[in-house]
Amino acid sequence: MKKGLFIVVLAGLFVLLVSSILKMPSLGSVDNPSYNETATYYLENSVEEAHAPNVIAAIITDYRAFDTLGETTVLFTSIAAVISVLSINHQDKKKGGDING
């Protein structure tokens, strides 16, 4: 009974997802809604405004440099968390006289 319900729900979800995939615009088509005026602006003006032929570098370190600062902060926070969790053992071992790294 429960298994049949699961199968019905999953089949409904499958039909929904596949039909939504079939409705999507094809890959690389010009009518794709992600090719809006923002992308056109970047492609036309990034060489002139940032002097960088690599448009992605111009976007992530010039137009969206503040987002990249946030991304770098995420890396910094994660490494701080990892060190603070994993180096507790290290401190205990050092007390025993064995110096390691």
Partner 1 sequence: MDDIIVKTITRLIVPFIQVYGIFVILHGHISPGGGFSGGAVLGSSMILFTLSFGLPMASRKIPHKVTSILETSGILWYIIIGLAGIYLGGKFLVNKEAGFFMGQAGELISAGIIPLLTLGIGIKVASTMITLFHTIIEED
> For residue 93, what are the contacts with CB-CB under 8 A and spacing of at least 6?
100
Tell me how many helices (H) and strands (E) the chain has. Answer: 5, 0
Q: How far apart (Å, rounded) are the C-alpha atoms in residues 40 and 30?
A: 12
Give the per-residue contact string, 42-81, with partner 1 (x = CB under 8 A; - = no).
Answer: -----x-xxxxxx-xxx-xxx--xx-xx--xx-xx--x--
Closer residue to partner 1 in complex, CB, 38/68? 68
CB 58 within 8 A of CB 42: yes
| Site membership for partner 1, residue 35 (CB under 8 A) | no
Site of interaction with partner 1 (CB under 8 A): 47, 49-54, 56-58, 60-62, 65-66, 68-69, 72-73, 75-76, 79, 82-83, 86-87, 89-90, 93, 100-101
